[in-house]
Structure 1
Amino acid sequence: MSRRRIGFWYRLAAVIAKPPLVVLFKRDWQGLEHIPADGGFITAVNHNSYLDPLSYAHFQYNTGRVPRFLAKAALFRGSFVGAILRGTGQIPVYRESTDALDAFRAAVDAIERGECVAFYPEGTLTRDPEMWPMAGKTGAARVALLTKAPVIPVAQWGANLAMPPYAKEKRFRLFPRKTLKVLAGPPVDLSRFEDREATPELLREATEVIMAAITELLSEVRGEPVPTATYDHRKARAEQRRKAAEEGSK
């Protein structure tokens, strides 16, 4: 499989985004050697700030292998941002609809054309109180097992310090100057899941392996031990509702 050229729209996006990133932030990039030089592949990245897609895209753009993100369909409608997303070949995701599967089909097609598709397996910004990756959704594992493409885990840290994900005041915290840290690791070994029926249990197990690889890398980036348990937002919400119901019944 050949590698797709970067193209006009991605270069235009880089011309717009790179100068402020270079001026406003320091960079600590590691693991560039793990980004494949040719052929289709998947990157699985943790998500802790609205700014981190730019940080991660900057990192990978400099390897010559640009990522195709899965992004909310609403972002593609009209506007200059929508034009950039469409022009750079990003993949719209129609959540909670029958069109949701189209994103996975588009991801498979892109990988088979020799492109990189970037997944945020958590599906949204982490809700973990300590900013560790949450339990992931199974989309990346599903596409990986369909295509047998390598899955490159990526951890990033620093964008969340400049733009915290759930701060009450949506403003940048630029000073002191933050360092955008990105670390890519070797491909995740999913061989034991291949050529088997993609049951929900198998996909969840493969997803846990991917998330564990991302968390290990983030542990290295942060210089902190891996948490003893993975935060599961759905379970946490269910527990909150249970406690609220108990309090209400008193």
Structure 2
Amino acid sequence: MSRTSQRSTYRVLAGIAIPLYRLVAKISWRGTENFPATGGFVVAANHLTEIDPITVAYPVYKSGIMPRFLAKESLFRVPVLGRLLTHIGMVPVYRGTTRAKDSLEAAFVELNDGGAILVYPEGTVTRDPRMWPMRARTGAARLSLQGQVPVVPMAHWGDQNVLYRDPQGKRTFNLFPPKKVRVLIGEPLQPQDLMRPGQHTTDHPTADDLNYATTVIMDRITSLLSELRGEQAPSDRFDPRARKESR
């Protein structure tokens, strides 16, 4: 599908989703001036609940940028939804398979074309019962380092008052009245900001390079969330793998 067709489909879906979203959420944001005016970039955000993809995409879209998500491949096999995701250029993520590299290659193509890729580094809704960002995967860091594009950190707070998921996975909806949702967008992190001491190149980052860069990204997201919440973030970051929890 051509970019023109993708944009047309995107606008139609946004025209449906945004009014529905605004029935349950009163959103406000700060920091859209931090979105790069030219060139591709990655937006990395915390993940509170299943409705916050709209929260994250909304300020990007209203800034005149058509954002694309890295989305779980299983979503592309859902009838109707999968077709829509394909039509608007979302990128499927193939985890734990021989096709895992296809996701990154598709994302690099979008970034090279000057697009914006939205990533949840945590990979799923946070399992931290305190609702702080948990230990993350390294995909956002790899996209930035190897693609030589900035990462724009973003934090949001309030979605969980619309749809709350407890640590056991039980969901609670509270749709009315509309809940206050706030978004804070930070200054871009350039690839050189993500390089660890002694690292001389970003072409082939090692596991240590990627872990360091991911920590820098998550620290910045956590700092933004701390500002939104008006609370000090905990010194420890929740690690579902250490607790043998599934993502």
Confirm or deny a common fold (TM above 0.5). Answer: yes
Whether contact under 8 Å (1:156, 1:180) holds in the other structure is yes
Partner of 1:241: none
User: For the pair shown, which has the larger CA radius of gyration, 1 or 2?
Assistant: 1
CA distance in structure 1 between the aligned counterparts of 2:226 and 2:82, rounded to whole angstroms: 35
Report the equivalent of 1:152: 152
The residue aligned with 1:8 is: 8
AA of the residue aligned to 2:211: R
Q: In structure 1, how many angstroms separate the alpha carbons of the residues matched to 2:221 and 2:170?
A: 29
Residues 44, 152 of structure 2: 8 Å contact kept: yes
CA distance in 1, matches of 2:68, 2:54: 12
- SS of equivalent residue, structure 2 residue 69: strand
What is the number of residues matched between the two proteins? 235
Report the 3-state secondary structure (helix = DSSP H, G, I; strand = E; otherwise coil) of the residue aligned with 2:125: coil
Unaligned runs of 5+ in 1: 239-250
Amino acid of the residue matched to residue 17 of structure 1? A
The ranges of structure 1 where at least 4 consecutive aligned residues each deviate by more than 3 angstroms after the TM superposition are 166-171
**Would you say the 8 A contact 2:48–2:160 is kept in 1?**
yes
Q: Percent identity?
A: 42
Distance 1:114 1:190, change over 3 A: closer
Counterpart Cα distance in 1 of 2:44 and 2:170: 29
List aligned pairs for 1:12-161, cutoff 5 A. Answer: 12-77=12-77, 79-161=79-161
Q: Structure 2: which amino acid aligns with 1:174?
A: L
For 1:190 and 1:112, locate their aligned partners in 2 and report how far apart those are by CA, in whole Å. 15
1:3-28 deviation per Cα after TM superposition (whole angstroms, max 9, x unaligned): x7671111011111011122322112
Report the equivalent of 1:173.
Answer: 174
Match of 1:221 among 225, 228, 233: 228
Query: Offset of 1:171 from its aligned partner?
Result: 4.4
**Which residue number in structure 2 is paired with residue 188 of structure 1?**
189
Q: Report the residue type matching 1:163 in the other structure.
A: L
Conserved 8 A contact 2:157-2:228: yes
SS in 1 for 2:149: coil
> Are 1:188 and 1:213, in contact at CA under 8 Å, matched by a contact in 2?
no
Tell me, in whole angstroms, the C-alpha distance in 1 between the residues paired with 2:151 and 2:175.
33
User: 2:132, 2:222 within 8 Å by CA — same for their partners in 1?
Assistant: yes
Gaps of 5+ in 2: none
Q: Normalized per residue, which structure has more helix?
A: 1
Stretch deviating more after TM superposition (95-104 or 189-198):
189-198
Picking from 213, 218, 228, the partner of 1:211 is 218
Question: What one-letter code is carried by the residue in structure 2 that aligns with 1:50?
Answer: E
Separation in 1 of the partners of 2:133 and 2:61? Answer: 24
Distance in 1 (CA, whole Å) between partners of 2:129 and 2:8 is 40
Structure 1, 201-210 or 5-14: larger mean CA deviation:
5-14
Q: Is 2:40–2:110's contact at 8 Å kept on the other side of the alignment?
A: yes
In 2, Cα distance between equivalents of 1:13 and 1:123:
24
Cα deviation for residue 173 of structure 1 reads 0.6
| Letter of the structure 2 residue corresponding to residue 32 of structure 1 | T
SS at match of 1:221: helix
Give the alignment's TM-score, normalised by structure 1: 0.88
Deviation at 1:180, TM superposition (A): 1.7
User: Are the aligned partners of 1:37 and 1:65 in contact in 2 as well (CA < 8 Å)?
Assistant: no
Letter in 2 for 1:116: A
Equivalent-residue separation in structure 1 for 2:54 and 2:131 (angstroms): 18
Match of 1:242 in 2: none
Amino acid at match of 2:230: G
Aligned partner of 2:232: which letter? P
SS of the counterpart of 2:132? coil
